[in-house]
């Protein structure tokens, strides 16, 4: 019976890439500094040495070109995994991601597939300033034709990345920069994958549903622990894991049980993931709600460089606790 190994998120992603490259010779990597330098966050450590320059390709600093080459390679039968150094740089590749990767299978009536994975780290906390630290999940969530993965644990990171590489659809794979060093138990079985569209219930409770995206799934768990110990409030904590497809059924099942919802994301409040989820919950579970849906988001500003300002722009457990206390006021 297969066991587990404690790994950091970066190690789990590295293992997924290595295993899939060993399994399928059509899988190859492209990106800035992923070969000789082994990646800005060391996710591709050792892979160029093992697989050579033909399958681990250092590229020029030109995101539109990198993703465009990935789209072409995918159309030609390869399975490229493109790494962008930060999610902010994906803005330079939006033409290729939206107008080409997402649209080509439709424009070609399904005769051509684009099995492309675009990996990109994002999120604040490392004092990298506004051009390296944003959370653009909502931007990609809006685009039909691509899948969007947002893993928060090492095990999910490995399993989802393996699923993404094997999928015939283009996948935007978003990794939070502060989670690369977080450890977790990862199954040793190389065949373990995770289907897209299956949320995880990280904690069970009867009083309120808390939905947390990426790093905010961990902050939601910390807040739920405080709520239980200090206020006697027990929360369902749900980590969607993928945003397209979204496991709305698991969220709605929880809402029907708890009748109250708090949605937590690091992204901006206007048109965010939480705004989308709030609309879906209101449309499909309105009769079960006993209080308005609460949203906890990042500040509506470009991400500050100053450490104190940056931390003030990011949600923390105390903000989640405050939102839960507001939505549960008078419930007990």
Active site residue: 100, 132, 176, 218, which one?
A: 132
Measured in residues, the chain has a length of: 332
132 is catalytic: yes
| 26 contacts 79 by C-beta, under 8 angstroms | yes
Active site residue: 63, 83, 265, 266, which one?
A: 63
DSSP letters of 167-197?
A: -SS-EEEEEEGGGTT-EEEEES-TT----TT
Angular region, 331: left φ>0, alpha ψ -120 to 50, beta rest: alpha
Q: Counting beta carbons within 10 angstroms of the beta carbon of residue 66, is it exposed (0 to 12), middle (13 to 18) or buried (19 or more)?
A: buried
53 is catalytic: no
Q: At what angle do helices 317-328 and 215-226 cross, to 10 degrees?
A: 60
Query: Dihedral of CA 261/267/268/270: which sign?
Result: negative
Would you name the residues annotated as active-site residues?
63, 132
């Amino acid at each position: 019976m297969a066991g587990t190994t404690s790994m950091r998120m970066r190690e789990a992603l590295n293992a997924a890439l290595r295993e899939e490259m060993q399994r399928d010779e059509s899988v190859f990597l492209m990106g800035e500094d992923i070969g000789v330098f082994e990646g800005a966050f060391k996710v591709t450590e050792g892979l160029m040495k093992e697989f050579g320059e033909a399958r681990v390709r250092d590229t020029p600093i030109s995101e539109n070109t990198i993703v465009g080459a990935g789209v072409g390679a995918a159309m030609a039968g390869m399975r490229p995994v493109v790494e962008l150094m930060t999610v902010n740089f994906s803005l330079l590749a939006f033409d290729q991601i939206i107008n080409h990767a997402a649209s080509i299978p439709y424009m070609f009536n399904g005769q051509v597939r684009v099995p492309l994975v675009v990996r990109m780290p994002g999120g604040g906390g490392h004092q990298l300033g506004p051009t390296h630290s944003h959370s653009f999940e909502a931007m990609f969530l809006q685009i039909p034709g691509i899948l969007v993965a947002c893993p928060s644990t090492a095990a999910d990171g490995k399993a989802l990345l393996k699923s993404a590489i094997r999928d015939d659809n283009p996948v935007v794979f978003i990794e939070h920069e502060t989670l690369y060093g977080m450890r977790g138990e990862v199954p040793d079985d190389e065949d373990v994958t995770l289907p897209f569209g299956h949320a995880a219930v990280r904690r069970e409770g009867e009083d309120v549903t808390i939905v947390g995206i990426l790093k905010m799934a961990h902050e939601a768990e910390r807040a739920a622990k405080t709520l239980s110990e200090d206020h006697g409030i027990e929360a369902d904590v749900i980590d969607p894991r993928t945003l397209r497809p979204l496991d709305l059924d698991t969220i709605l099942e929880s809402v029907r049980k708890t009748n109250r919802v708090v949605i937590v994301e690091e992204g901006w409040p206007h048109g965010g993931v939480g705004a989308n989820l709030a609309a879906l919950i209101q449309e499909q579970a309105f009769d079960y709600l006993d209080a308005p849906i609460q949203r906890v988001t990042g500040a509506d500003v470009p991400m500050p460089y100053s450490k104190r300002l940056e931390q003030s722009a990011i949600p923390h457990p105390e903000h989640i606790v405050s939102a839960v206390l507001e939505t549960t006021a008078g419930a007990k």
